Amino acid sequence: MGYKDVYEGWKADPEAFWMAAAEGIDWVTPPTKALFDENAPLYEWFADGEVNTCWNAVDRHVAAGNGDRTAIIYDSPVTHTKHTITYAELQTRVASLAGALRAKGIEKGDRVIIYMPMVPEALEAMLACARLGAIHSVVFGGFAAHELAVRIDDAKPKAIIAASCGIEPGRIVHYKPLLDGAIEQAEHAPDFCVIFQREQEVAHLEDGRDFDWHAFQYGVEPAECVTVKGNDPLYILYTSGTTGQPKGVVRPNGGHLVALNWTMKNIYNVQPGDVYWAASDVGWVVGHSYICYAPLIYGCTTVVFEGKPVGTPDAGTFWRMIEEHQIKVLFTAPTAFRAIKREDPKGELVKSYDLSCLQSLFLAGERADPDTIEWAKATLGVPVIDHWWQTETGYAIAANPLGIEEMPVKIGSPSVAMPGWDVQILDEAGHPVAPGALGAIAVKLPLPPGTLPTLWNAEARFRKSYLDHFPGYYETGDAGYIDEDGYLYIMARTDDVINVAGHRLSTGAMEEVLAAHPDVAECAVIGVSDALKGQLPLGFLCLNAGVDRDHGEVTKEVVTSVRDQIGPVAAFKLAVVVDRLPKTRSGKILRGTMAKIADGETYKMPATIDDPAILDEIRSALEGAGYAKG
């Protein structure tokens, strides 16, 4: 069956399609049906099935006689360490950690925050929570204490599991002081913390609150898998919205298992036992789905890489990894390839490695620019597949399903909608537009299994953010078009979210930090194009009347504040002082127009602009900062 048959088969009978896919999962009690639509437009999948995600990701492979198979390859050029963990070892380690968490009171439904770098223990912590039916929420290590505190107050975790430190090239990231700072800032206090002490930095443990990862497992009874309902949450993952308050995307157990398991063969075309490497971070959705869960659920070997595409030690690291670990599929963000290409434009380093094991390269997380795709294709000699998805969806909405049929690649397009996804382009009034016409990208409800059923403790925000604008549809927040052949093109965000090095960031959250500076009267943050990271944030500051300090000092201070409050991952390094911000007559700041000026693009003078002369002032401020080159 080709792609069209599979897609049409799903469309003709979604219930049968997903019930068949559900057979790939070990259920304690199989679901009686797939879709539960009693509360439409809120939907649930496999709600009456009973299951455990950790059993499916770990124990079932041991039970099937594959305990000796490698589950995790850990390769850490920043610490010069490598080791592997078999499925049987993983089962022992996870059951022990889960047992220790249970002994301290963690039960089904409790929340546990995980704040860890790219070490196998991060996956073990996620799986241990899944084993107990506890809901984990992983916070990316590049976020600072304040962001962690916001998530603590929203998720209200009973426990926090953290590492003593992370390692970035050239510096140690002191996780423990960040964690202590976050707990101090937060209103909610966890009952206890578990600290994985790394030899690069051993952290101080707070008596009575903090427990050592190894010591607290001593002598405990290993925990068995706890049965949960298909619609019980497996995890919450916070992602950027338009404000400083992140959105807690909820991921239920049942649909997630079914959908991720389906993608491994059908999209990525791998078999159990193959080595699958998602070069991302467990703090992001790509890391949740394709470093931790999907490869393990499907019985593949997954790779935990603690390093960067360049500089650890060089731009040949990815190729060394592929050869040494016999990697079949590599999945990363285009920015990683742009970084490699910048260091080794001719791809010379590839020649030193045998990459014959590599079957395909998948890219996602941001727009894949044609140059990068062409370069990767020419350098690696394998299909380079762009696919499009979001934290909310958990896996690809549009892709080239290599395990069903390799569709012709159209560069600039993440190809076609996957089964489960009825993707449509809508005009402002919510009417579908003709092929080729630009509009808001929306998905006809219900969304398929494994996607978000709601936001954590924020159903009204869920409805407002995703469902209300186009009744009957899920609003993706992306704009684009579909061509005559059904290929999708993702052009831009329709909100104030920007994408920096494949990381999704909120300009609204940065504006909140800038606005809190005592000298700042008004501000705006926009995303400007960047050759390496895709976009970079750039701030505009209007200072209070009477402020006669050096502007450079103020901009330095706001740069430091964003780093301290949001974290280094915001990559906020540039701010300019202007007298006024361009606005519409109703007072809306014209961020889109400012971004176009910064990128040297042509723009239409907005009809509603209050005072067109301000745009000239913005242009000269940007020129002074090295932007606005046409």
Q: Which amino acid is at 400?
A: N
The two tokens of residue 475 are 């609003």
Site string for ligand COA, 468-507 (x = CB under 6 A): --------------------------------xxxx----
State how far the Cα of 511 lies from the Cα of 45, in Å rounded to an integer.
38
Helix axes 334-343, 370-380, angle to 10 degrees: 70
Binding ligand AMP by CB under 6 A: which of 61, 367, 469, 591?
367
Site string for ligand COA, 152-171 (x = CB under 6 A): --------------x-x---
Q: Does 571 bind ligand COA (CB under 6 A)?
A: yes
Min dist. Cβ of residue 277 to ligand COA (A):
12
Of 231 and 393, which has the nearer Cβ to ligand AMP?
Answer: 393
3-state secondary structure of 455: strand
State how far the Cα of 397 lies from the Cα of 420, in Å rounded to an integer.
8
Q: Which stretch binds ligand COA (CB under 6 A): 26-34, 87-95, 447-455, 564-572?
A: 564-572
Binding ligand COA by CB under 6 A: which of 152, 155, 336, 442?
336
Q: Do β-strands 81-86 and 135-138 pair in parallel, antiparallel, or remain unpaired?
A: unpaired
State how far the Cα of 195 lies from the Cα of 175, in Å rounded to an integer.
10
Structural element, H or E, at residue 480: strand 473-482
The two tokens of residue 6 are 């599979």
Binding ligand COA by CB under 6 A: which of 61, 308, 341, 387?
308
- Phi and psi of 37, rounded to 5°? -115, 20
Contacts of 352 (CB under 8 A, 6+ apart): 316, 319
3-state secondary structure of 513: helix
* 389-408 positions binding ligand AMP, by CB under 6 A: 389-391
For residue 391, the partner it binds in ligand COA, ligand AMP, none, with Cβ less than 5 to 8 A by kind, is: ligand AMP
Q: Does 449 bind ligand COA (CB under 6 A)?
A: no
The answer to whether the bond into 419 is cis (omega within 30° of 0) is no
Q: Which stretch binds ligand AMP (CB under 6 A): 193-201, 227-235, 383-391, 559-567?
A: 383-391
Binding ligand COA by CB under 6 A: which of 173, 399, 526, 614?
173
Q: Does 394 bind ligand COA (CB under 6 A)?
A: no
**C-alpha 31, offset from chain centre:** 29
State how far the Cα of 164 lies from the Cα of 173, in Å rounded to an integer.
9
The two tokens of residue 335 are 């920015």
Min dist. Cβ of residue 365 to ligand AMP (A):
5
Q: Which stretch binds ligand AMP (CB under 6 A): 303-311, 361-369, 431-439, 606-614?
A: 361-369
Q: Which stretch binds ligand AMP (CB under 6 A): 31-39, 226-234, 318-326, 362-370?
A: 362-370
Cβ count near 188 (within 10 Å): 14
State how far the Cα of 627 lies from the Cα of 321, in Å rounded to an integer.
38
Site string for ligand COA, 104-123 (x = CB under 6 A): -------------x------
Min dist. Cβ of residue 336 to ligand COA (A):
4
The two tokens of residue 551 are 């502007």
Binding ligand AMP by CB under 6 A: which of 86, 499, 535, 593?
499
Q: Are 565 and 555 in contact (CB under 8 A)?
A: no
Give the torsion through C-alpha atoms of 118, 451, 101, 54, to 10 deg: -80
Binding ligand COA by CB under 6 A: which of 99, 133, 141, 414?
141
Binding ligand AMP by CB under 6 A: which of 154, 232, 386, 496?
386
Residues that bind ligand AMP in the complex, under the rule CB under 6 A = 239, 285, 364-368, 386-391, 414, 477-478, 490, 493, 499, 504
- Applying CB under 6 A, the residues found at the interface with ligand COA are 117, 141-142, 166, 168, 173, 280-281, 284, 286, 308-310, 333, 335-336, 339, 365, 500-503, 532-533, 568-569, 571
